[in-house]
Amino acid sequence: MKKVLAIVALVATMFVAGKVQAQTTVYATYAPESFISSYNKNSSTEKYQGFSVGFNYNIKLYKGFGVAPGLQFRMNMRNTEKTVWGLTGKVKETQTVLDVPVLFNYNLDLTRALSIIPFVGPMASFALSGVTKGSDPIFGNNSSNWYDEDAMMKRFNLYALVGADLKFNGLNIFGGYRWGLLDLDKSEDITLKTRGMFVGLGYSF
């Protein structure tokens, strides 16, 4: 633990002294997400369309190695139909999330202008909102909040990310996959986890 604190203190000191090079990247991604529920060895999957915008601040630590803390706003959406007792209604679901990724990366220069940058790391995630809106012939319009006091959803999640960035001058084309590590359902009998791929475009300056 002391060694970790010493390394963090050294990086902070170098950064303050201006000896650590850093680069900011702004980006947007297409990031669909699957919500996978498991109960008594049976599982079901609900797929959401997802998008995000964000930025990161890549700090070069040693030669090609770096660490990129960041912040992004992400939205998951799903429109579907649900049939109960022979009656079909429409369902619209929306979730907004704030993510804090911390990605360790290594820059591999292919040419003076082109490089490939594999990355891996954790991403903390906090759900800002989650709403299900429905309409059916009997009850009409109705809505429910995923995070009410009586709701069964947890707001906090932790992901593991892996991917790669193809960088040409300041342009970034990247992609990867994320795995949700925590159970988001408060009940003891049901396990709910999330995962999904992502692809994005960014610009570094």
Q: What angle do CA 34, 86, 148 make, to 5 degrees?
A: 45
Q: Is the pLDDT of residue 201 over 80?
A: yes
What does each C-alpha distance from 21 to 8, 12, 26, 69 come to in angstroms? 16, 12, 17, 14
- Read off the CATH number of the domain in which 55 is found: 2.40.160.20
**pLDDT at residue 85 is higher than 90:** no
Alpha-carbon distance of 105 to 22, in angstroms, equals 13
pLDDT by residue (tens digit) across 154-190?
999 999 999 999 999 999 999 999 999 999 999 988 9
pTM for the complete prediction?
0.84
Pair type for strands 191-204 and 22-30: antiparallel
In total, how many domains does the chain have? 1
Q: What's the whole-number mean pLDDT along residues 194-199?
A: 98
Per-residue pLDDT reduced to its tens digit, 87-138: 677 889 999 999 999 999 999 999 999 999 999 999 999 999 999 998 765 5
Q: Which domain holds residue 135?
A: 20-204
Q: Is the pLDDT of residue 24 over 80?
A: yes
**Do the Cβ atoms of 163 and 119 come closer than 8 Å?**
yes
Q: Quote the pLDDT of residue 18.
A: 44
Task: Quickly state the pLDDT bin for 60 (edges 50, 70, 90).
Answer: very high
Nearest to 200 by CA among 5, 9, 29: 29
Confidence bin at 16 (pLDDT 50/70/90): very low
Least Cα distance to 106 among 158, 159, 162 occurs for: 162
pLDDT at 17: 43
Q: How many CB atoms lie within 10 A of CB 56?
A: 23
For the cut 80, the answer to whether the pLDDT of residue 193 exceeds it is: yes
